[in-house]
């Protein structure tokens, strides 16, 4: 769930929001109902499945689920709801959208009052720190992380005379330069594009592999001078210049159609994107496989469950969090939905390590994706990370589509960012 960028659906025509009055953090308001709660989620992550899993163990609980729209649409709806005083009992917030809410912890229940102080050690420390405010309050519990890998069409690699074994494929690209060179070989052999696009399958991967992204550890915006960001941007433009992209923007109808037809052979696939491949190209089952990502590690994605301060039924919402986001709960969810746990105690559990995904040629996805997180020293996510990232990917897409000058793309992106965030 969690990082993720997902296919945005139309905003729900109406949000069935219960009117509520404020109450002390962790204390149900008058008339609260411990048997039901309202839950806002974003689309593309099978929230209905998560709710169904919970109802299987708590059949007397009523969950009023609204899939608001894409992750950013859900964050915007929450912002509006917080200003208007009408909020859900539980809300899913994507990691990149979380910082703006952490800066206003008074709008949320401090989950330490519900028991989060006793379980915070269950989670990767760099993940739980993202939802911890300066005053120490915890406003969200992490649901997942976004370990990174590369999905590739083994059958198309075979046609191109490239290795097909996942270990050998991973050795083709120890670096992103080697990845692009592999793409050139593939195109020379087949005449077809190697990857879907440069903005997501190159830039958004490289930029999430460093220790500093758009903000420095002190919270200062450094997007315009971060070596990691510039490296990622330049690598994406190299891929465009090499002519190895299909110019298909992720999650569009064209992207789906091209994936079905085999118009490209590779998609950078953080764990949460595997579902999109299954859904958009079901007839390609068994043709895909998973290899390590250039550089070997990284994280893109992850989400958090939070309870607004004015929630009518905070106890029911917390019970859901406690049950579904425990190490065992996240492990069970991985077995159902392939949502990578944020609880490292289960990373060696056979229920995770033994999982082999038949859609992806039996790839041991639990091991591949958790290995990509080992030793990771992540970067700080800031309040405008989503906006900054969007402008950089837009600039790359413009060049890819022939609408932008590669020599001016970086400066144009930086200018647009400064205009958007005011600094």
Which pLDDT value is given to residue 375? 76
Binned at pLDDT 50, 70 and 90, residue 303 comes out as: very high
Average pLDDT over residues 356-363: 97
Pairing assessment for the beta strands 141-142 and 303-306 based on DSSP bridges: antiparallel
Distances (CA, A) of 52 to 61, 140, 240, 320, 346: 11, 22, 43, 12, 22
User: Which part of the chain has CATH 3.40.190.10?
Assistant: 36-145+301-346, 150-297+360-421
Crossing angle of helices 409-421 and 227-241, rounded to 10°: 130
Neighbours of 89 (CB within 10 A): 29
**Contact present, 87 and 20 (Cβ < 8 Å):** yes
pLDDT value at 246 more than 70: yes
Which pLDDT value is given to residue 112? 98
Residue 322: exposure state from Cβ atoms within 10 A (0-12, 13-18, ≥19) = middle
The encoded tokens of residue 72 equal: 């950013």
- Residue range 150-297+360-421, CATH number: 3.40.190.10
**Contact present, 26 and 314 (Cβ < 8 Å):** yes
User: What is the DSSP-derived secondary structure letter of residue 82?
Assistant: H
User: Which tops the pLDDT comparison, 108 or 301?
Assistant: 108
Token look-up 């958790």 returns 370
Which pLDDT value is given to residue 32? 61
Which pLDDT value is given to residue 377? 82
Q: What whole-number distance in Å separates Cα of residue 201 and Cα of residue 43?
A: 21
Q: What whole-number distance in Å separates Cα of residue 156 and Cα of residue 160?
A: 6
What global pTM score does this model have?
A: 0.86
Which pLDDT value is given to residue 34? 77
Task: Please state the three-class secondary structure of 83-118 as a single string.
Answer: HHCCCCCEEEEEHHHHHHHHCCHHHECCHHHCCHHH
**Contact present, 337 and 356 (Cβ < 8 Å):** no
Which pLDDT value is given to residue 13? 30
What confidence tens digit (pLDDT) does each residue in 386-418 have?
999 999 999 999 999 999 999 999 999 999 999
pLDDT value at 278 more than 50: yes
Which pLDDT value is given to residue 132? 96
Average pLDDT over residues 94-108: 95
What confidence tens digit (pLDDT) does each residue in 13-69 have?
323 333 333 333 334 444 466 789 999 999 877 788 889 989 999 999 999 999 999
Give the E-state strand segments of 212-308 in sequence order: 266-268, 288-291, 303-306
Q: What whole-number distance in Å separates Cα of residue 335 and Cα of residue 417?
A: 40
Q: Which CATH superfamily is 36-145+301-346 part of?
A: Periplasmic binding protein-like II (3.40.190.10)
Residue 358: exposure state from Cβ atoms within 10 A (0-12, 13-18, ≥19) = exposed
What confidence tens digit (pLDDT) does each residue in 194-224 have?
999 999 999 999 999 988 999 999 999 999 9
User: What is the DSSP-derived secondary structure letter of residue 199?
Assistant: I
Q: What whole-number distance in Å separates Cα of residue 68 and Cα of residue 78?
A: 10
pLDDT value at 160 more than 80: yes
Percentage with pLDDT > 90 across the chain: 82
Among 71, 59, 88, 43, smallest CA distance to 304 is for 71
Average pLDDT over residues 417-422: 96
Which pLDDT value is given to residue 374? 82
pLDDT value at 266 more than 80: yes
Which pLDDT value is given to residue 33? 67
Which pLDDT value is given to residue 391? 97
């Amino acid at each position: 769930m969690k990082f993720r960028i997902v296919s945005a659906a139309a905003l729900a025509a109406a949000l069935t929001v219960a009117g509520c009055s404020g109450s002390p953090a962790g204390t149900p308001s008058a008339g609260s109902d411990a048997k039901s709660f309202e839950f806002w989620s974003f689309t593309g992550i099978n929230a209905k499945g998560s709710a169904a899993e919970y109802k299987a163990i708590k059949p007397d609980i009523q969950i009023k689920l609204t899939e608001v729209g894409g992750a950013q649409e859900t964050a915007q709806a929450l912002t509006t709801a917080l200003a208007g005083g009408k909020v859900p009992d539980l809300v899913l917030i994507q990691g990149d959208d979380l910082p703006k809410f952490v800066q206003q912890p008074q709008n949320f229940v401090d989950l330490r009052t519900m028991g989060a102080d006793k379980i915070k050690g269950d989670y990767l420390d760099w993940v739980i720190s993202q939802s911890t405010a300066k005053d120490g309050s915890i406003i969200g519990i992490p649901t997942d992380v976004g370990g990174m890998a590369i999905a590739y069409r083994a059958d198309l690699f075979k046609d191109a005379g490239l290795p097909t074994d996942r270990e050998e494929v991973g050795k083709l690209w120890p670096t992103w330069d080697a990845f692009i060179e592999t793409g050139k070989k593939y195109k020379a052999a087949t005449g077809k594009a190697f990857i879907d696009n440069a903005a997501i399958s190159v830039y958004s991967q490289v930029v999430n592999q460093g220790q500093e992204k758009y903000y420095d550890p002190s919270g200062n915006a450094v997007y315009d001078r971060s070596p990691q960001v510039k490296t990622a941007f330049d690598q994406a433009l190299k891929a465009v210049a090499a002519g190895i992209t299909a110019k298909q923007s992720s999650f569009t109808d064209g992207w789906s159609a091209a994936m079905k037809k085999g118009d490209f052979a590779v998609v950078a696939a953080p764990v949460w994107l595997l579902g999109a491949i299954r859904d958009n190209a079901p007839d390609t089952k068994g043709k895909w496989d998973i290899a390590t990502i250039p550089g070997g590690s990284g994280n893109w994605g992850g989400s958090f469950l939070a309870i607004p301060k004015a929630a009518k039924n905070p106890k029911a919402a917390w019970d859901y969090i406690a049950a579904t986001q425990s190490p065992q709960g996240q492990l069970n969810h991985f077995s159902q939905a392939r949502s990578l746990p944020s609880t490292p105690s289960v990373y060696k559990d056979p229920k995770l390590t033994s999982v082999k995904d038949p859609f992806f040629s039996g790839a041991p996805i639990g091991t591949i994706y958790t290995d990509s997180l080992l030793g990771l020293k992540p970067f700080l996510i800031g309040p405008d990370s989503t906006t900054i990232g969007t402008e950089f990917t837009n600039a790359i897409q413009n060049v890819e589509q022939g609408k932008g000058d590669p020599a001016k793309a970086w400066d144009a992106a930086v200018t647009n960012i400064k205009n958007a965030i005011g600094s």
